[in-house]
Amino acid sequence: MVAASFEYVSAASYDEAVQRLVEHGEDAKVVAGGQSLVPMLNLRIVRPSVLIDINPAGSRPPEVEGSLLRLGALTRHRTLLEDPVVRQHCPLLAEAVRHVGNVRVRNRGTIGGSLAHADPTSEIGASALVLDADAVVRGPASSRTVAVRDLFVSYLTTTLEATEVVTDILVPVLAKGQGWGFREMVRRSSDLAIVAVAARVDLDDAAEVVRSVQVSLAGVSDRVVLADPALLAGLIGTSADEASLARIAAEVADAVSPESDVHASAAYRRRLVDVLTRRAVRDAFDRARGVEKAA
């Protein structure tokens, strides 16, 4: 179908985009990369009366500020994949993006757009969540910083107000003694994940046992979620041995209530959570200890 008619305005800055949102209200939608939004327009699933093109606002290159990696909201997926700063300081994000879309999608898709779209199977969302990233959000009155864990509310829904836009994402850089893991199951490479698991492990000072661990899950709920820390607590002080991993991964799997769809049943998704959590945490532990791992 051809999209339903709309007015088109372009915003040369984030502030201008916000002004336009205030001006046009609920019927306006911001388009960044458009790789998730425009298919919905083409299928007439959404019919905004105004499209605000934020691409002219541009983006600075990724930059490390202290212990944070600052990514402009309009940072393209391709940049996340190829930029040496990202690859060095946030390898989890670079790896997750490798699974997103294809060359064309990555040339246009943006990290700000992905997080604002809040797809429950998003590899980028899972990575931002597990790394405790923050989103800098600008509204008509002010800017605020919101933790990504407070951003995703439900299916394709965030806590962003109708007049707010994401301007930056701040991701803690990979620290010493920290490791990451990313495992997903897809029916066909580069498709939307069936289940994706991202893990972050921090080791104790002796770099032998787990000091803290965090796991995020995509494809198991109406949004990307963090595994209950209480369930993961059993890994603290361990060396992520097989028995502990198996026990805790099983508990994490038991705790999720996924839905069935054309690609996988709820029961199978739960099985995947079990297997992929084990594998992702294992990878994170090994990487924390400096073991080279093929992605």
Partner 1 sequence: MVASTTIVAPESTEETTAGGFHVIGQSPAHHDFVDKVKGSLHYAADWRLPGMLFGRVVRSQVPCARIAAVDVSEARALDGVSAVLTAADVPNNRLVEMASGGLGELEVAMPVVAGERVRYLGEPVALVAAATQQIADEAAELVAVEYEALPGVFDVESALADGAPMVHDAGNVLVTWQIRAGDLGAGFEEADAVVEGEYRSQHVEHAYLEPEAGVGWIENGVVTLRVATQVVEHASAIARMLGLAANKVRVIATYMGGGFGGKEDMTVEPYLALLVWHTRRPVRMIWERQESLVASTKRHPFVMRYRTGVRQDGTITAQEVEILGDAGAYPYLSPRVLFAAASLACGPYRVPNASITSRAVFTNQVPTSAFRGFGAMQMTFGYESQMDRIAERLALSPTTVRERNFLAKGDLLPTGETLDTCVEVGATMHRALALLGEPSGASGPTTRVGRGFGCNMQPYGRTIWFRDHASAWLSLEADGTLLIRSGVTDLGGGQAASLCQIAAEILGVPLDDISIYIGDSALNPPAGGTFATRQLYMSGNAVLKVALELREQVTKVAAELLGGSPETLVFAAGRVGTSEASGTSLTLAELVAACGQRGVSTSLLSTFRATAGSFDPRAGQGDTFPDYTYGTHAAEVEVDVETGEVRVLKYAACHDVGRAINPMRVEGQIQGGAMQGLGYALTEDMAIEDGSPQSMLFADYLIPNSLDFPDVRVAILESGEGKGPLGARGIGEPSIGNAAATVASAIQDAIGIRPSRLPMTPERVLALLDEAQALAGDEIKRRNA
Partner 2 sequence: MTAKRLVTLRVNGREHALWLSPSDLLVDVLHDELGLSDVRYGCGEGVCGTCTVLLDGEPINACLTFAVQVERREITTLLGLMGEDGSMHGLQECFLRLGALQCGFCTPGMILTAHDLVERVGRPSRDEIRYALIGNLCRCTGYTKILDAVEEYCAQAAPDGGAAR
C-beta separation of 49 from 7 below 8 A: yes
Among 68, 105, 209, 255, binds partner 2 (CB under 8 A): 105
174 CB-near residues (< 8 Å, 6+ apart)? 88, 89, 90, 91, 92, 180
Torsion sign (Cα): 226, 228, 230, 233: negative
293 touches partner 1 by CB under 8 A: no
Among 13, 16, 19, 53, binds partner 2 (CB under 8 A): 53
C-beta separation of 198 from 130 below 8 A: yes
- Give the interface segment with partner 2, choosing from 66-74, 98-106, 163-171, 196-204 (CB under 8 A): 98-106
58 touches partner 2 by CB under 8 A: no
Among 6, 68, 132, 266, binds partner 2 (CB under 8 A): 6
Q: Tell me the helices (H) and strands (E) count for the chain, helix number first.
A: 11, 14
Backbone φ and ψ of 61, nearest 5° = -70, 155
45 touches partner 2 by CB under 8 A: no
Distance CA 148, CA 93 (A): 14
Among 60, 144, 187, 293, binds partner 1 (CB under 8 A): 187
Length of the chain equals: 295
Q: Select the binding partner of residue 264 from partner 2, partner 1, none (C-beta < 5 to 8 A, by kind).
A: partner 1
Q: Select the binding partner of residue 236 from partner 1, partner 2, none (C-beta < 5 to 8 A, by kind).
A: none
103 touches partner 1 by CB under 8 A: no
C-beta separation of 249 from 295 below 8 A: no
Q: Select the binding partner of residue 34 from partner 2, partner 1, none (C-beta < 5 to 8 A, by kind).
A: partner 2
Among 22, 23, 44, 162, binds partner 1 (CB under 8 A): 44
243 touches partner 1 by CB under 8 A: no
Judged by beta carbon, residue 38 or residue 250, the one nearer partner 2 is 38
Among 45, 103, 147, 162, binds partner 2 (CB under 8 A): 103
Distance CA 290, CA 228 (A): 27
C-beta separation of 127 from 96 below 8 A: yes
190 touches partner 2 by CB under 8 A: yes
The footprint of partner 2 on this chain (CB under 8 A) covers a number of residues equal to 30
Specify the DSSP class assigned to residue 236: T
243 CB-near residues (< 8 Å, 6+ apart)? none
Q: Select the binding partner of residue 217 from partner 1, partner 2, none (C-beta < 5 to 8 A, by kind).
A: none
- Shortest Å, Cβ 221 to partner 1: 19
Q: At what angle do helices 266-288 and 242-254 cross, to 10 degrees?
A: 140
43 touches partner 2 by CB under 8 A: yes
294 touches partner 2 by CB under 8 A: no
Task: Give residues in contact with partner 1 (CB under 8 A).
Answer: 1-5, 43-44, 185, 187-192, 261-265, 268, 271-272, 275
